[in-house]
Amino acid sequence: MKKDSDNFKNSALVDIMRSLKRKGKRIVIYEPLLEIDHFGGIKVIHDLMAFKAGSDVILANRYDVYLDDVLTKVYTRDAFHTE
């Protein structure tokens, strides 16, 4: 979720996640600000290290330095790694 934002439900990635889920792909969400265990039937993981270790591909709206160690797994629209 964008820092200081509450618009997760309107994120562009929500449509991508739903489409991948319909195609039978296993989807998980890393979102420490969500205080729920599932969002739209998708498991929410609150531990970043567990999320990174268990993910083959990471879709991110925005790049963050916390993704540096898994950069080869990250796909983002933030081509210039800016916030």
CATH of residue 64's domain is 3.40.50.720
Reported as a single tens digit per residue, the pLDDT across 1-59 is 445 455 555 667 778 888 888 999 999 999 888 889 998 888 999 999 999 999 999 99
> Which backbone phi and psi does 26 adopt, to 5 degrees?
-80, 125
Reported as a single tens digit per residue, the pLDDT across 57-76 is 999 888 889 999 999 999 88
Residue (of 32, 23, 31, 29) closest to 42 by Cα position: 29
Strand-pair category, 38-39 with 42-45:
antiparallel
What is the reported pLDDT for 10?
A: 62
Domain that holds residue 36: 29-83
Q: Is residue 2 part of a domain?
A: no
User: Is this structure's pTM higher than 0.85?
Assistant: no
Domain count of the chain? 1
Q: Is residue 70 part of a domain?
A: yes
The torsion defined by the Cα of 73, 7, 46 and 68, in degrees rounded to 10, comes to 30
What is the reported pLDDT for 62?
A: 83
- Categorize the per-residue pLDDT at 83 as very low, low, confident or very high, splitting at 50, 70 and 90: low
